[in-house]
Structure 1
Amino acid sequence: MNLFSGTISSLEHALNYSSTKQKVISQNIANVDTPNYKAKGVSFKSALQEALGDTIDTYRTDKRHFAFQKHSAASAVIENKNQVSYNENGNSVDIDQEMADLASNQIYYNALTERISGKFSTLQNVIRGGK
């Protein structure tokens, strides 16, 4: 959805990232006692850098003009965390770290939902004519 700017689209991608991270953290917490389970993490940084690194070949009349960039849908990548065992059974889930990540992700998600709600509220106000 691209209304007037890419803000709503960016918020949508951020919500998808947060949702994926929530699922991975939940899987890690659910498998805290599973022997030889390796904790997983969500990496969005590499996908974001890849998306921002692509530039479109454009004709610039002045070298001071900005180069246009492609805005592709970057997706989060699920990967195994460090290969350290925290338990004697080969499990690498640190429950304290996972709970902290869970709380941090919840705060991030709440901030995103409030921001996108504010965007839609502003659009609704404009549609109603400021009433």
Structure 2
Amino acid sequence: MAISFDKAFGIHPDSLKLRAKNAEVIASNIANADTPGYKAKGMDFKTAFAQAASKQQSGMSRTHEKHFDVRTEINNGVDYRVPNQPDTGDGNTVDVQVERNLYLENSMQYQASLQFLNGKIKGLKKAITGGQ
């Protein structure tokens, strides 16, 4: 009997991809905190996650190696963030304290998703080996 990893893991692999992308966006903001004119970017995780879930439920699959795999083509939802501080004169909208907090929160959510996925893998392994 074949195991469908897509069904077993559900949306969680896509969640990890989105969390990793969000970490990149936040890290880019922190790295450019002193760059004049840099505009902070943010990710609407709920929207990107909803898009990933709807694409997974559509059941589309890659039938030829030159076709795009629509399941991995997730619109990441990255857009410019509305600044919560007045312009400091150089046009930069990055608030380092906010970015650090967002990075920490995203990191914890990434770890939670990873632990959940790890539990799923352990459960499948136990089912395959018979609990040995």
Q: Compute the TM-score of the two structures, normalised by the length of structure 2.
A: 0.74
Alignment of 1:1-131 (within 5 A): 2-3=4-5, 5=7, 8-49=9-50, 70=58, 73=71, 74-82=74-82, 85-131=86-132
Consecutive unaligned residues of structure 2, counting only runs of 5 or more, are: 60-69
Distance 1:70 1:100, change over 3 A: same
Q: Is the 8 A contact 1:11 1:112 kept in 2?
A: yes
Q: Which residue of 1 aligns with 2:67?
A: none
- Equivalent residues of 1:38, 1:92 under 8 A apart: yes
Q: Distance in 2 between matches of 1:45 and 1:51?
A: 10
Greater Cα radius of gyration, structure 1 or 2: 1
Partner of 1:41, secondary structure, is strand
Query: How much does 1:2 deviate?
Result: 4.1
Which stretch of structure 1 is more off in the superposition, 109-118 or 39-48?
A: 39-48
Note the C-alpha offset of 1:130: 1.6
| Structure 1: distance between partners of 2:21 and 2:13 | 12
Give the alignment's TM-score, normalised by structure 1.
0.75
The separation in 1 between residues aligned to 2:43 and 2:126, in whole angstroms, is 37
SS at match of 1:36: coil
Write 1 or 2 for the structure with the bigger share of helix.
Answer: 2
Q: Greater RCO between the two (CA within 8 Å, min separation 6)?
A: 2
Note the alpha carbon deviations across 1:108-129, whole angstroms, 9 max, x for none: 0110111111110111111111
RMSD of aligned residue pairs (Cα, Å):
2.6
